[in-house]
Amino acid sequence: MNIEDEPAHWPVMSTAELARGRLVTVRTDKVRMPDGELAERDVVIHPGAVAVLALDDVQQVLLIRQYRHPVGRLLWEIPAGLRDVAGEQPWATARRELLEEAGYRARDWRVLADYYTSPGFSTERLRVFLARDLEFVPENERDFVPEGEETQLVPAWLPLDEAVRKVFAGELHNGVAALAILAGYAARAEGYERLRPADAPEEQ
């Protein structure tokens, strides 16, 4: 058996929009299952996102502390952002977010992982990049001014091995950060050169 995700579509018999917000739209689809029965599925339509595991020359991970209102916590995360600019390629979004949130550029970019964050109810798709060979960009050389939540971000560097320990200890709770840290640890063992290039196509 070939263990690989593949496209599949159950017929949608009807759909009803429940809410439309600044970021997402919520709808209910009535779908016909393979046995002929009808089932209702709530769906959150999300534009998708990217995230960046930035590693320095001594294998430290760049983390950012950010307040997350829905869970009422200050979480340590990795730089990330929405894919909300029409026509912008994922790697370009990742490059922009790394600069805007952390003030770094990277010369070496690879695709670390692709995944759906909550496929039971959301369309959100997230591509995680590995960024290495980093260069700090002074504030006076950046072409933007931080606004809103970006002014509250707190950066920190943590050895990759220590970050892995904190994931297993339940001390880091952000899902994409945990996945990226563990994937980065595995990629180091396998060799970073085996990762896909930054512009690798996404499966449709």
Q: Which of 88, 150, 171, 202 is catalytic?
A: 150
Amino acid at 151: T
User: Is 100 marked active-site?
Assistant: no
Amino acid at 30: K
Q: How far apart are CA 132 and CA 59, in angstroms?
A: 9
> Are 130 and 160 spatial neighbours (Cβ–Cβ below 8 Å)?
no
Q: How far apart are CA 178 and CA 153, in angstroms?
A: 19
Q: DSSP states of 59-95 as a string?
A: SEEEEEEEEEGGGTEEEEE--EEE--STT--HHHHHH
Question: Any idea which residues carry the catalytic annotation?
Answer: 150
